[in-house]
Amino acid sequence: MTAKRIDVPTSQSVVRALRVGDEVELYGTIVTARDAAHKLMVESWPEIVAPALRDGAIYHCGPVMKKTAQGYEVVAAGPTTSIREEPYETAVMERYGVRLVIGKGGMGPATLAACHNLGAVYVHAVGGAAVALAACIKKVEAVHFLEELGVPEAFWVLHVEALRGVVTMDAAGHSLHEEVYRTSKVERDRLLGV
């Protein structure tokens, strides 16, 4: 299957055309945000991250960074478990206009509803491929709240090329994660004779 190229920032129409199972390659600007960053966003709504997130991508990632004479180099950038951001994600998507949420493991019903209502998707990145994913990051454009949050929790604004993933929650309201859970439960019950 050929991956669909998505230039970030993107449009609602581009995102609404994506479906669960579509492979995508992202080109452009993405912003990392883990637990502390999400909490900070919903508590104080920092405007400094707004331009990079508008019609953009938020990546659940705590990158490993190397300080160089030129700035920072990304050593590893694997996805972190996304469900921890479930209490915050809908509000973040609404406030900042996020179109793509990238992470691993999927998210819950509130984020799925936000994807449907706002025109967004969840992109599953491959866990365990942190170094390969870092190779797709061509430039660190900026970092926000580094001193306050530390390296893994800061907002890293990154320029990516051919960052691959699979759409597992789409704007039509479909969730591969929910489907797997449902079919697994049916099979479990069958095996247990329930």
Q: Which residues are catalytic?
A: 38
Cis ω before 9 (30° cut-off from 0): yes
**Residue whose pair of structure tokens reads 């329930």 in the numeric block:** 194
Given phi > 0 = left and psi -120 to 50 = alpha, else beta, which region is 100? Answer: beta
Cα 31 to Cα 96: distance, rounded to the nearest angstrom? 12
3-state SS class at 103: strand
Listed residue (19, 7, 106) closest to 57, CA to CA = 7
Query: In this structure, are residues 88 and 38 in contact, taking their beta carbons and an 8 Å threshold?
Result: yes
Listed residue (72, 90, 69) closest to 155, CA to CA = 72
Burial class (CB in 10 A: 0-12, 13-18, 19+), 25: middle
Cα 47 to Cα 41: distance, rounded to the nearest angstrom? 9
